[in-house]
Amino acid sequence: MSGAEMDAVVARATAGLAALDDALHQLSSARARVTHSSGLVSVEVDEHGGMCGLFFPESLSGTDADELGRAVVETAARAAQLVAERRERLLASLAERLSD
């Protein structure tokens, strides 16, 4: 293997490592915060889709508990879906960058 070929191998490996490092950073910091269309609740999820924040307006007087429960579940599911979609895009981009 010539020096130029070795340099090319090292350059590809370095670029791959940089792409992997960037993807890992983005994956570990992926979060989503979604507010329900009713405004009853906002939910924030972490990079794993786990709830890490639950926010309500100052007053919930007169709010039906079942309606509030459904809003929490729907909103948490939507936020988790957004994080999952972001993760899929990041991994697809990483795979594309590494296959070059």
The count of C-alpha atoms lying within 13 angstroms of the C-alpha of 2, restricted to the half-sphere facing its C-beta, is: 3
- pLDDT tens digits along 54-69: 999 998 888 999 999 9
Question: If DSSP codes are grouped into helix, strand and coil, which group holds residue 31?
Answer: coil
Q: Which of 38, 32, 42, 31 is nearest to 75 (CA)?
A: 42
Local confidence band at 49 (pLDDT 50, 70, 90 cut-offs): very high
Q: Which of 31, 33, 36 is nearest to 73 (CA)?
A: 36
- pLDDT tens digits along 60-97: 888 999 999 999 999 999 999 999 999 999 999 989 88
- Asked if 36 and 63 count as a contact pair (C-beta separation under 8 A), the reply is no
Query: Which residue ranges make up each domain of the chain?
Result: 3-99
CA dist., res. 84 & res. 49, Å (int): 7
- Asked if 17 and 84 count as a contact pair (C-beta separation under 8 A), the reply is no
Domain covering 3-99 assigned CATH 3.30.1310.10 in the classification: yes
CA dist., res. 97 & res. 92, Å (int): 9
Question: If DSSP codes are grouped into helix, strand and coil, which group holds residue 36?
Answer: coil
pTM of the prediction? 0.82
Local confidence band at 13 (pLDDT 50, 70, 90 cut-offs): confident
